[in-house]
Structures are given as C-alpha cells and as structure tokens.
Amino acid sequence: MRVLITGASGYIGKHVVKAFLDAGHEVTVSDYSFKGVDERATLSYEPIFSGRKDIFEAFGKPDVLVHLAWRDGFIHNSDAHMKDLSNHVEFLQNMIEGGVKYVTVMGSMHEVGYWEGAIDENTPCNPMSMYGIAKNALRQSLLLFCKNKDVNLHWLRAYYIYGDESRGSSIFAKLYQAEQDGKTEFPFTTGKNKYDFIHVDDLAKQIEAASVQSEENGIINVCSGNPISLADKVEEYIREHNMKIKLVYGAFPDRPYDSPGVWGDPARINKILGKN
C-alpha cells in the first residue's frame, strides 16, 4: 500500500516508518525534520496544518494515513494540546473528504484518566490532563465524522512504551541517562503499581498490522495485555542491560492519582495479529 506517516521523526515515528517499509509498503513521511528517518522513505515537505482542502492530492493520494504527529506528547499539560486540536481535526477531515480509505490515529491511555483494571473500547473516559482531554476530543470528533464515510478508522490506544532509551522520556530513559552519567543510585517510588509495557519495536509492528486491515475498526488497544509491576519491569531492564545502578525504593511517594493497576485489553489487536 501507499502509506503517509506524519510525525515520522518522533520517538514512535521512526520505528513505525521502518515497520511499514519492512512489510513492503511504499512510505511517504511528513515532519518538521527527517533526522534519523529510514532512508528508504520518500520525504514530503507539505505542511499538514496548511488548511488545504486538497491536502489528500498534495500528499499524492495515499491509501493509508498514519497520523502520529503531536506536539509536546511528553508534556501532559502543555498549552499546545488544545491549541493544535482544531488543526488536527481539519487535517484529518480534509484527508478523509479527499478520499483516503485507511486512517490510523494514535490515541493514549491518558484519554481514560483514572482506571483500575483492563481498558477496552467501551471503557468510559475521564481524562485528567490537557493531553488526555485533547486526544479524547479528537477521537470523539473523528468517530462522529466517520460514521457515514467510506473509510476504515483505527484509533490505536497505546500504553507504557519503552525501548530506544537515548531518545525517549520514560523512566527507562531517565534510568539509562543516570547510568550513562555514572550515578550509582536512582531515586524510585515503591514500584508496586502495575502497567502494560510494550517495546517500541513491537508497538510499531502492531501499528502497521492494525493500519492496513478493515476487519477491526474504531478503538484498538496496541499493547501487551500483561500487567507487570513497575519495580519488576525496571529491575528486569537493569539486569538485561548489565547496569550497576541501584534503585532507592520509597525515595519518591506514590502519587495518589496513579492506579494500582491498569492495562490494555489485547483482544482486538490479537485478532488482527492472528493470535486468537
């Protein structure tokens, strides 16, 4: 398929571009810069927020749009989330009106807000950050807009992503940097909270598989479906990377608004991947 990927040079984007290329697709990439993006991809300098009604034609009429572009994704209460929301809506609506048949947009567990247990496509959403509010509003707008449209809409909801730590902003990235800086201790919480962890390369493969099919539309969790305590996962990461650094448990208090356990229901992505 001919695939357009926005936000291609972002933390997730680079891995997603490679996954699509490795699967044999023809990939065009869009972003502010293309540093580190797979050289097999075709670069496009067309701005996604131009407001052009013919944006679909301007991007060469792709079969698939994978919309990853999002400013300040790691800064959850940045003003950019709400400021950019209408631009995302306009771009996606113009692409759909133009004729793109497969649309994937990255969602987030932060749309849901506080929740204990598994999250599926029917879990109620009460976001607790500007990032979550904006993503939730974009999803609601898109689902409504696409109701009577000839388009396969995939809203892919991601969870706790790790891997490629030199470029990430997760606790694993901070741990990686502390080890690089020669620190021997790393301040930590109790680590008892359980999360759904997925390596960025596995996530990219799930995004590729979900984006090019028409059997499962709407909200799809891209996740492992396996709740693991933060302590167990971080200790495993330290062992796997032969790090010398030690966790200082209880240095930071557990936040009262963090769920004791939250993870994605993987039923729909497993069906797509042929695991059911």
In tens, the pLDDT along 91-102 reads 999 999 999 999
pLDDT for residue 168 = 76
Q: Are residues 148 and 266 in the same domain?
A: yes
Q: Are residues 60 and 171 in the same domain?
A: no
pLDDT for residue 181 = 93
Q: What are phi and psi of 135, to 5 degrees?
A: -65, -40
**Does 79 map to a domain?**
yes
**Does 254 map to a domain?**
no
Q: Are residues 242 and 135 in the same domain?
A: no
What is the C-alpha separation between 15 and 1, in angstroms, rounded?
A: 18
Rg (CA), the chain: 19
**Percent of the chain residues topping a pLDDT of 70:** 99
Q: Are residues 95 and 121 in the same domain?
A: yes
Identify whether 249 is a catalytic site residue: no
Q: Are residues 63 and 190 in the same domain?
A: no
DSSP string, 31-69: SS--TT--TTSEEE---TTS--TTHHHHTT--SEEEE--
**Does 253 map to a domain?**
no
What is the C-alpha separation between 266 and 271, in angstroms, rounded?
A: 9
pTM given for the model: 0.95
Q: Are residues 123 and 234 in the same domain?
A: no
What is the C-alpha separation between 200 and 162, in angstroms, rounded?
A: 6
Task: Reply yes or no on whether the pLDDT at 230 is more than 70.
Answer: yes
Q: Are residues 59 and 157 in the same domain?
A: yes
Q: Are residues 132 and 185 in the same domain?
A: no
Task: Reply yes or no on whether the pLDDT at 276 is more than 70.
Answer: no
In tens, the pLDDT along 192-211 reads 999 999 999 999 999 999 99
CA contacts within 13 A on the Cβ side of 234: 26
Q: Are residues 77 and 48 in the same domain?
A: yes
Average pLDDT over residues 21-48: 96
Count structural domains, the chain: 2
Residues making up the chain, counted from first to last: 276
Q: Which domain holds residue 169?
A: 163-195+227-248
Of 125, 119, 159, nearest to 140 by C-alpha is 125
Average pLDDT over residues 99-123: 96
Residue pair 159/264 in contact (Cβ under 8 Å)? The answer is: yes
**Does 176 map to a domain?**
yes
Amino acid in position 26: E
Read off the CATH number of the domain in which 148 is found: 3.40.50.720
Task: Reply yes or no on whether the pLDDT at 256 is more than 90.
Answer: no
Model confidence at 167, pLDDT cuts 50, 70, 90, reads: confident
Task: Reply yes or no on whether the pLDDT at 109 is more than 90.
Answer: yes
What is the C-alpha separation between 159 and 233, in angstroms, rounded?
A: 14
- Which among 131, 176, 195, 237 is annotated as catalytic? 131
Amino acid in position 103: V
Residue pair 155/105 in contact (Cβ under 8 Å)? The answer is: yes
